[in-house]
Amino acid sequence: MTIALYNTASRTTEELRPVEDGHVGIYVCGATVQGEPHIGHLRSASVFDQLRRWLLYRGYSVTLIRNVTDIDDKILSKSDEAGRPWFAHAFMYERAFTDAYAALDVLPPSYEPRATGHITEMIELIERLIVAGHAYPALDDCGDVYFDSTSWSDYGELTNQRIDEMEPAGDSELRGKKDPRDFALWKAHKSGEPETASWPSPWGRGRPGWHIECSAMSMKYLGANFDIHGGGLDLRFPHHENELAQARAAGDRFANIWMHSGLLNVGGDKMSKSLGNSVFASDLFARFSPLAVRYFLTSAGYRSILEFSAEAMERQTASLDRLANFLDRARQALGDDAPALPNVHSGYADRSVDVPEEFAAALDDDLGVPRALSVVFATVTEGAKLLDSASDRDRLGRIVAEVELMLDILGVNPSAEVWARGGADAKLESALDALVAGLAEQRAAAKAEKDFATADAIRDTLAAAGIVIEDTADGYRYHLRDN
């Protein structure tokens, strides 16, 4: 068994060779909690959740660290506009992100460090960089500290750029810099900023720059050399480039593999705040179920551009409905013989079946989810034939177990308890059950009186509404027709 992943740094697909046998350490850049989570945040979280689930299935233990950036320029600005303390603003949106991840059944991280809780580690890393000759206090004694980009010959290695092709760093003013491309490691406290948004340091009160946060936090919890660093493609430069430069310049190996999830387009354009076309989690969940949203996020390869539209959501929802209808029908048919649900929290160690070899090969090859989904649908097709012919219950039970295990690894198993319907959906389902039960009773009475015309008319009325009713030895069952 070999798992291969595309490494942004080498621009090749490489075998995963964990630093520690049997264990994989992953750091994923989390949210800067300035505002609501959007679909791009949800995609990145879903991708690395799938990777984690697959590693667990393959027998690895996994430590996944996902940070929270709870202090930066944007948080201070947005909180001031909203008229609330910066820390209250950050915490409010941190909770919004947590709720959105939970709605999608993204497994909680092993630990979720906040930037404000790791100022000491950041200061220590900055001091190491100064001693190594790769950082310096601002030349105008303003209290800022900068990374000396020209001192590190490998600066640009992650994104394959030459330093003379780079734009000036946009995270700080030009004052006190040796070079415009030098970026801030420490930002001096400014007049008008809350005193609570600053900490003491050898260079005066201030707060960390954005990039130093992740370098310090990832190495604190995963060590100076760890397996995978992940995030959205938009973080590749300057954030991840700067993280890598800081860590390597300080003498640390840092991440072996860099993984980046692809961007999203909305209406043919890249989703961005400047275009005003961001799709927020709250709006998505108001229109679509969280399961449908997660399935949509699963529908494309993780490195590809994902096109969002209502039509695309509807297409993927129809595919999801096909899976859900098969599993509902199969579980009804199997009754007490239906298999137990897969359990990611056991690392799938208690599974009764293995995934098909083709599914495993797809995910081993750079998390090839579209290929893996094609295996799921092929298996469902085989199961539907057994279900329609009412033959080989043992094989049907095995297929149900395989399908649910595959879908659970992808985070989209409709049978999972986390997706159990509630609220308005539960009321609608209860109402539908009652209506079908009433019509089924009338149909059974008509058949008993040999009034087959009436019985057929009831069946046709249900079919016209997209409901398929079936007679079994134990009575009737029904399901919604696949589109």
- Tens digit of each residue's pLDDT (9 = 90 or more) over 7-42: 999 999 999 999 999 999 999 999 999 999 999 999
List phi, psi (to 5°) of 151: -80, -15
- Which of these ranges, 97-106, 381-390, 417-426, 459-468, has the smallest mean pLDDT? 417-426
- pLDDT for 428 equals 62
What rounded mean pLDDT belongs to the chain? 92
Alpha carbon dihedral 53, 58, 63, 68, in 10-degree steps, equals: -30
3-state SS, residue 448: helix
For 55, counting Cβ atoms within 10 Å of its Cβ (0-12 exposed, 13-18 middle, 19+ buried), the class is buried
CB 38 within 8 A of CB 399: no
**Helix segments in 148-249, DSSP class H:** 210-222, 241-249
Cis-peptide, bond into residue 238, ω within 30° of zero: yes
Q: Count the neighbouring beta carbons within 10 Å of the beta carbon of residue 289.
A: 16
Report pTM: 0.87
Query: What one-character-per-residue DSSP string does 405-423 give?
Result: HHHHHTT--TTSGGG---H
pLDDT (tens digit per residue) in 94-124: 999 999 999 999 999 999 999 999 999 999 9
User: Any idea what DSSP says for residue 337?
Assistant: G
Rg from Cα positions in the chain: 27
Non-local (6+) Cβ contacts of 378 within 8 A are: none
Q: What DSSP string describes 44-68?
A: HHHHHHHHHHHHHHTT-EEEEEE-B
Asked whether the beta carbons of 409 and 335 are under 8 A apart, the reply is no
